[in-house]
């Protein structure tokens, strides 16, 4: 069983078909899907320069549930939290209606990890012991140190740092994975970063992700296989994910 921990879906069935085809080519059994409707992946740099608009600010969480219902056991939806839009009750509803975890989109929603409004929502995620996927930025309120403080405050919440940090070889983010409830997601990571994970015995804290559709799952898997042995790959592509999913099998 191979799980891809990070792929984006917009609200089109064509994109769903493309993802399923990419799964087949790469030998992937199931994929965590997150909102991809707010920003076109091909225009990320232009958006960051202020030259390309958002398509939407509200994540397409409902479509993800619909897509997952059409492809059970293959698509595993994560609920994107929009702190100024969602309420604690909506976090509870998401946890009970089929979502497998949560995500913060710091790029689209300019999230402040230190805000009291976010803390109120994360208290609910912490109650369930669910995983929370997030991106780091160079903004101090959405950077590594602020993320570490979240992990230390909400100790049942399993924080997954997307793309292994800010850059393709973020040593500080790798070091942070020594914290019990901090994990790293592998997509677009460098071979240097993978080697550092292995050197520091943090293979059990690394989870395979592809960043589809911007990146190809087969290529992202091939990069990992340059560094890790078969037993280590099983941890990265299956066991570590299953550990994060224990919250779905036990009451909050």
Q: Please give the pLDDT value at position 32.
A: 98
The two tokens of residue 147 are 């993320």
Question: Which range, of 42-46, 80-84, 164-168, 193-197, averages the lowest pLDDT?
Answer: 42-46
Confidence of residue 250 (pLDDT cuts 50, 70, 90): low
pLDDT, average across residues 233-243: 98
Q: Which tops the pLDDT comparison, 156 or 251?
A: 156
- Would the pLDDT of 252 be above 60? no
Confidence of residue 248 (pLDDT cuts 50, 70, 90): confident
Q: Please give the pLDDT value at position 242.
A: 97
- Would the pLDDT of 251 be above 60? no
Q: Are 117 and 84 in contact (CB under 8 A)?
A: yes
Element (H, E) at 4: strand 3-9
Element (H, E) at 157: none
**pLDDT mean across residues, the chain:** 95
- Residue 214 CB burial class (10 angstroms; 0-12, 13-18, ≥19): middle
d(CA 6, CA 162): 9
Q: Which tops the pLDDT comparison, 108 or 234?
A: 234
Q: Please give the pLDDT value at position 56.
A: 78
pLDDT digits (tens, 9 = 90+) for 64-105: 999 999 999 999 999 999 998 999 999 999 999 999 999 999
Q: Are 160 and 103 in contact (CB under 8 A)?
A: no
Q: How far apart are the two ends of the chain, measured CA to CA in Å?
A: 26
Do strands 158-161 and 131-134 pair parallel, antiparallel, or not at all (unpaired)? parallel
Does the N-terminal peptide bond of residue 213 adopt cis geometry, omega within 30 degrees of 0? yes
- Would the pLDDT of 232 be above 80? yes
Q: Are 65 and 35 in contact (CB under 8 A)?
A: no
Burial 133-164 (b: 16+ CB within 10 A, else e): bbbbbeeeebbbebbbebbeebeebbbbbbbb
Residue 224's alpha-carbon distances to 192, 211, 244, in angstroms, are 11, 14, 20
Domains in the chain: boundaries: 3-249
Q: Any idea which architecture 3-249 has in CATH?
A: Alpha-Beta Barrel (3.20)
Helix (H/G/I), strand (E/B), else coil: 33:
strand
């Amino acid at each position: 069983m191979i799980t891809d921990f990070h792929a984006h879906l917009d609200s089109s069935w064509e994109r769903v078909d493309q993802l399923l085809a990419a799964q087949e080519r790469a030998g992937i059994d199931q994929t965590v899907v997150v909102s991809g409707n707010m920003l076109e992946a091909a225009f990320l740099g232009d958006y960051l320069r202020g030259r390309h608009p958002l398509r939407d600010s509200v994540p397409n969480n409902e479509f993800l549930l619909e897509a997952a219902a059409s492809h059970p056991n293959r698509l595993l939806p994560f609920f994107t939290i929009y702190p100024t839009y969602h309420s604690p009750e909506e976090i509870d509803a998401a946890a009970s209606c089929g979502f497998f975890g949560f995500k913060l989109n710091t790029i689209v929603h300019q999230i402040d990890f230190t805000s009291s409004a976010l803390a109120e929502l994360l208290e609910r995620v912490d109650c369930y012991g669910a995983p929370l996927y997030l991106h780091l930025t160079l903004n101090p309120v959405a950077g590594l140190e602020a993320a570490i403080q979240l992990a230390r405050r909400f100790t049942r919440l399993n924080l997954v740092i997307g793309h292994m940090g800010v850059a393709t070889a973020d040593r500080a983010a790798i070091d942070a994975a020594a914290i019990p409830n901090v994990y790293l997601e592998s997509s677009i990571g460098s071979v240097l970063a993978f080697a550092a994970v292995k050197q520091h015995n943090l293979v059990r804290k690394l989870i395979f992700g592809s960043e589809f559709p911007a990146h190809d799952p087969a290529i992202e898997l091939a990069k990992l296989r340059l560094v890790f042995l078969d037993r280590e790959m099983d941890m990265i592509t299956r066991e570590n994910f299953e550990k994060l999913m224990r919250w779905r099998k036990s009451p909050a």
